[in-house]
Amino acid sequence: MTKNPHARFPALRMRRPRATAWSRRLFQENALSPSDLIQAVILIEGNKVREPIDAMPGMHRLSVDQAIELAKEAQGLGIPALALFPFTDSNARTPDGEEALNSDNLMCRAARAIKHAVPDIGLMADVALDPYTDHGHDGLLRDGDIVNDETVKILVEQANIMAAAGYDIVAPSDMMDGRVGAIRTGLDKAGFQHVQIMAYAAKYASAFYGPYREAIGSAGILQGDKRTYQMDPANSDEALREVALDLAEGADSVMVKPGLAYLDIVRRVKDEFGAPTFAFQVSGEYAMIKAAAGNGWLDGERAMLESLIAFKRAGANGIITYFAVEAARLLRKNMA
């Protein structure tokens, strides 16, 4: 493993480069910059609304005007993009999630307003039905089954509606088979050749999504679990097959999700394909750090930055995280 098998203690002293701050900086192998971060944003209807999310201390559901303010700050900090997610009240949800196809829904209005106010920030949208279904699943539920091909048809429409509203990246997070290729074909047919697809390629059936489901209003309503479409946390080779498929179907970038517990997958995907690879540091990861920091059990800022650099070290090109603005502020302060 070592490239210099001859150097041994005491000629070789690994502590030598660690002795001073300048030298530690010089020897640093990976760096985190605001350009690596995509801020995850939870939207809510209304005006001047900043509603705290209980399970995610420090995070708020933001009305569109507030999301615009956040977009301005993110842009000023050098954050390239935002990933938007809608809170949907249970009375606006239906069995088939029709609101997903309403071109005037919260997601579409938010994209238009943010693009108008902050034209140079990238905007990303999930393609999946879970914010809109009354059962909380990402696809259509028929006799206890999440039906694949019928769902994909709707996702294609949803992606086109998002693209028309101004989203730069559509990110299928539903884990239906064949959806990346179908969405690519649909986008191209509708004249959205420039819109990117970031595939949630290796997305695991994870307990770490818990706080997000509260954040978007899915918490109490999810029937069963998502194990018939999301991956088994025990699997690793399967992630490579998922990624291979999504790249072959035209994904511009792929994502591994959740983040910290799946860094081995990030590394394997990066090494195997060399494709643009992103990690999603999900709601539960954010909640764990915030909760421990809130109790004084760890240094929240240091834990945040350490968790983020870990993704870079594992080979990720970027990280979708609820910490983006907070981390970028800190990075900027540390640079000054």
Closest residue to ligand PBG, Cβ-based? 212
Based on the residue annotation, tell me whether 257 is a catalytic residue of this protein.
yes
The residue (of 178 and 191) whose beta carbon lies closer to ligand PBG is: 178
At 153, which amino acid appears? K
Residue 61 beta carbon to ligand PBG: minimum distance, rounded to whole angstroms: 13
Q: How far, in Å, are 1, 73, 277, 279, 311 from residue 266 at the CA level? A: 21, 29, 7, 7, 8
Least Å distance, CB 137 to ligand PBG, is: 9
For ligand PBG, the binding residues (CB under 6 A) are: 126, 128, 130, 138, 173-174, 209, 212-213, 226, 282-283
Which of residues 220 and 296 has its CB atom nearest to ligand PBG in the complex?
220
With contact defined as beta carbons under 8 Å apart, do 134 and 156 qualify?
no
Cβ nearer to ligand PBG, comparing 134 with 174:
174
For ligand PBG, the closer of residues 282 and 309 by Cβ is 282
CB count in 10 Å sphere of residue 271? 11
Question: Residue 35 and residue 139: Cα distance in Å, rounded?
Answer: 33
Q: Compute CA distances 230 → 33, 219, 274, 325, whole Å.
A: 31, 17, 23, 29
> Rounded distance, CA 200 to CA 72, Å?
27
Please tell me the number of Cα atoms within 13 Å of 122 on its side-chain side: 22
Could you say which of 153, 189, 257, 290 is catalytic?
257
CB-nearer residue toward ligand PBG: 95 or 191: 95
| Short-list 264, 261, 162, 139, CA closest to 207 | 261
Active-site option among 48, 72, 189, 203:
203
Q: Which of 227, 229, 282, 222 is nearest to 93 (CA)?
A: 222
Q: What is the C-alpha to C-alpha distance for residues 32 and 108, in angstroms, rounded to an integer?
A: 31
Short-list 116, 196, 114, CA closest to 159: 196
Is residue 3 annotated as part of the catalytic site, yes or no?
no
- Residue 6: what residue type? H
User: Which lies closer to ligand PBG via its Cβ, residue 41 or residue 72?
Assistant: 41
Residue 261 beta carbon to ligand PBG: minimum distance, rounded to whole angstroms: 12
CA–CA gap between residue 183 and residue 157 (Å, rounded): 8
Q: Which residues are catalytic?
A: 203, 257
